[in-house]
Amino acid sequence: MMQAPTTIDFRVAEVSTNPQRQAAIRMLLADSGLGMDSDITTFVEAWRGETLVGCAGLAANVIKCVAVDARLRGENLSARLLAEVEHLALARGHFHLFLCTRPCNTARFQRSGFWPIAQSGSNAVLMENTPSGLQRYCRHLQASRRSGARIGAIVMNANPFTLGHRYLVEQAARACDWLHLFVVREDASFFPFASRLKMVQAGVAHLPNVTVYEGSPYIISRATFPAYFLKETGKVQQAWSEIDALIFRDHIAPALGVTHRFIGSEPFCAVTRQYNQTLHRLLDGAVEVVEIPRIKAAGHAISASEVRRLLQTQQMSRIRDIVPGSTFAWLEGHYSAETV
């Protein structure tokens, strides 16, 4: 007589408030050679009796940290986990879902209704739960396409918008027939997206050949990209950089007819410097990358991080020297001495 398989019990764990559950999940992930991303708030757990045998993490609309006990692989548990975490995401109002995994898992997740968008070698693949999401986004962009021999693009976080950002945009706009400017949408910065967007719009309003766009999930930020499956920091960053560059090169740039991508030089942040190098390498032959040196104030390169530091200590007179008047007015209106 065959023994009936042990029932799998699915549970939801809010890991930010339950360190004990987090520790058990970390152990399961480690057994699969994975780490855990800090932005994951919720896990769907799979239990067989008293043993944790599977997990799938959810960070807003991004599914990651999917792992199954080696003894249960081949029993379709990963598909069941994926279905459970999808139902949880839908219940929380997230209908457009992304999945981050290793390329070796692509076929398995395709059978569960996810389609690959871009892949970084054997390190990472980004997938989504629709076969046409990226295509729809690019069709939307095509409506804003402009004619010209030189069409530029900039992607910026602008946290906040400084004189350095304005200089980059002005130089690019002067060199192009039209410039498409994307503001990273992810709300993982000191300033919320809506505020950053307003500062950028006000700061470039004097330029007649610039279109400002709200960012999208396809213009990827570090906050949304997974680091959990690659323990070496260099590989994590390289994978993020490559997927972001490939989506831009193969989809966004063709939709808008972009010929030039403008970036600012990066004297401070090694992560951004590596990203710039990836753009130079992967866009070569498709889109010309133009790197513009940062401008300086009082002998130092202007940076948004310096503005944030000065804001914390209410050094408004020093901030005035490194941001446009429009940004300063916004900061003064929102960060008085009483609110900081």
- The verdict on 102 and 208 lying in the same domain is no
Q: What percent of the chain has pLDDT over 70?
A: 92
Beta-sheet strand order (sheet of 260-264):
210-214, 178-183, 151-156, 260-264, 288-292
Domain boundary among 109, 131, 153: 131
> What is the spatial distance between Cα 275 and Cα 291, in angstroms, rounded to a whole number?
12
Per-residue confidence (pLDDT) for residue 232, from 0 to 100 = 53
- Which of 131, 157, 188 marks a domain boundary? 131
Mean pLDDT of the chain: 89
Whether 117 shows a pLDDT value over 80: the answer reads yes
Specify if 103 maps to a domain: yes
Cβ pair 86, 80 in contact under 8 A = no
CATH number (domain holding residue 117)? 3.40.630.30
Tokens of 162: 């400084």
Distance between CA atoms of residues 56 and 45, nearest Å = 7
DSSP for 149-165?
Answer: S-EEEEEE--TT--HHH
> Residue 195: pLDDT above 90?
yes
Same domain, yes or no, for 160 and 305? yes
Identify whether residues 122 and 223 lie together within a single domain.
Answer: no
pLDDT of residue 231: 44
**Structural domain includes residue 218:** yes
Average pLDDT over residues 8-23: 89
8 Å CB contact between 65 and 57: yes
Q: Give 70-100 pLDDT, tens digit per residue.
A: 988 888 899 999 999 999 999 999 999 999 8
Q: Is residue 340 part of a domain?
A: no
* H or E element in which residue 202 lies: helix 193-203
| Structural domain harbouring 123 | 8-131
Furthest-apart CA atoms within the chain: distance in Å: 83
In which band, very low, low, confident or very high, does the pLDDT at 273 lie, cut at 50, 70 and 90? confident
**Tell me: the pLDDT tens digits for 308-330?**
999 998 899 999 999 999 999 99
Residues 115 and 145 in one domain: no
Q: Which of 279, 239, 274 is nearest to 263 (CA)?
A: 279
Residue bearing the bigger pLDDT, 223 or 244: 244
Q: Are residues 259 and 139 in the same domain?
A: yes
Cα dihedral 88, 94, 97, 102, rounded to 10, equals -50
Tell me if 339 is assigned to some domain.
no
Mark whether 184 and 308 lie in a shared domain: yes
* pLDDT band at residue 181 under the 50/70/90 scheme: very high
CATH code of the domain covering residue 316? 3.40.50.620
In a domain, 2, yes or no: no
Q: Same domain, yes or no, for 214 and 325?
A: yes
Residue 339 has pLDDT above 60, yes or no: no
Number of domains in the chain: 2
Buried b (16+ CB within 10 A) or exposed e, 194-232: ebbbbbbebbbeebeebebbebbbbbbbbebbbbbbbee
89 and 150 inside one domain: no
Residues 6 or more apart whose CB falls under 8 angstroms from that of 19 comprise none
